[in-house]
Structure 1
Amino acid sequence: MMKKPLILVTNDDGITAPGIRALIEVMNTIGDVVVVAPDKPQSGMGHAITVNSTLFCNPIRLDPEHPQKEYSCTGTPADCVKLAVREILHRTPDICVSGINHGSNSSINVIYSGTMSAAVEAGIEGIPAIGFSLCDYSWDADFEPIKKHVKSITEQALVHGMPKGVVLNVNFPKLPAEAIKGVKVCRQAKANWVEEFDKRTNPMGKDYYWLSGKFVNLDKGEDTDEWALANGYASLVPVQFDLTAHHCIQDLNTWDFND
């Protein structure tokens, strides 16, 4: 018999979030699951790591009916993956899955996403990794319609492997199961947040700020993640964590840095 794959599960919404509980349920049908996830929400943390304070990572039992081992970590999503690989797991996992995030991580959101940063951290370690997100920010979001797709994508990644230096960013539209047309491989849309700060004053006379804004899609292409999601598809974007702008190197070598 073939050995079951070892699957590391993490997220950024916290270990009790409904999204990660749904992801754990799916992963238990595929392999042996170990969960290392933040003890509280860490959305928008990007690739932050903890360097100025101690980290705690404690065993926790949230689901007595299922066999997975779980650990609640005081750190960021990237911390969770680092601790899992270096301290908790006895062998390299066959895959790391992060999510399912409550809310979109499409387009420019991938930069800020703790969900995707956990996947990227796994990728840096040479582990195939996928970040899953549902375009529904509600804590009571319904993950049932996307579970079969989450399972299929994970199984395909295990069968085919992942290109070196690449992780997958998968987003699902908020739709009933029968309305999801399938999975479309896409590029990241060119979009950004137009941000504002809501400035207020507290009773002590000190100013404080709430970040707000709106998401603006500047990309009219029909090969983007934003187009796919708007048209009823799950979007799958291969993400590389080598941030070198290779196309600029030749031009930059024409500069005279000694002038």
Structure 2
Amino acid sequence: MQPPTQKYVIIRDIPVLLTKSHVTVSEYERLRRYRPPYGWANVSFEDVASAARHFNGTVHRSLFNVSQGGSPVRCAVVGNGGTLRESGKGKEIDSHDYIFRVNAAIVKGFERDVGSRTSFYFHTVTTLKGSLISARKYGFVQVPNTTETIYVDIPTFERDYLFMDAVLSWKPVQKGADASDSWLNSTHGYGRFQPIYRPSTGAVALLTALHVCDVTDAYGFITKTWRNYTNHYYEDTFQKFLFYVNHDFKMEIKLWDDLDRAGIISLYRGNISGG
């Protein structure tokens, strides 16, 4: 197979996290034309500023700091796809310097296949609340919570900014669909679904890892053989993969395949051939 013709360029001095210094009137006016997570459409300047005010130091600029000239930073990005079931990849995943997880990141009882460590947990308010509801019967009763774990919120709607301000102010959400809640824990036309389209949470985590890690290994992501696997590794009966209207999974399948074949990531494709 020939590598893809696209050229991928990493600009390392671009920060991957939002800080207080980024929120200016001029920047808000520029980005209010774009929907979250690409910009601030339908989110007020006040709500963006209130959330970002908690992040005002150099410690918030990067996911992690590494010394120059050190060993390569190796990262494992772990999706929840059925390719991980009976994979035996747990020790391999935990051997990385950092482990990224998303959504219903169930570890207990699946350590042999998915590992046990969580360095970064990527989520939106929607995926966090949805995962706690939909995967509760499989044992997902709280998000990863260890001394190593750092939470990364992907602001996809106004609710994410309200959530972040509330969490870091130790107060209930003040307005919107989550008011009074307390917290501790594309390539084709979308028609009427266009306003809710965004990359999947796993895609954001993987692309972020590509930007900050020297070696990026992806596990549990959708591949061309998705029909052979249950939807999620933690399901005890076979569940068909669901293509949600707010994500372009066909585009993501091609992108992960292209990046793997180009040697930019190492993609675990599962242990079932064909499809």
Name the TM-score, length of structure 2 as normaliser.
Answer: 0.25
Name the TM-score, length of structure 1 as normaliser.
Answer: 0.26
**Would you tell me which structure has more helix in proportion to its own residues?**
2
**Does 1 or 2 have the higher relative contact order (CA < 8 Å, sep 6+)?**
2
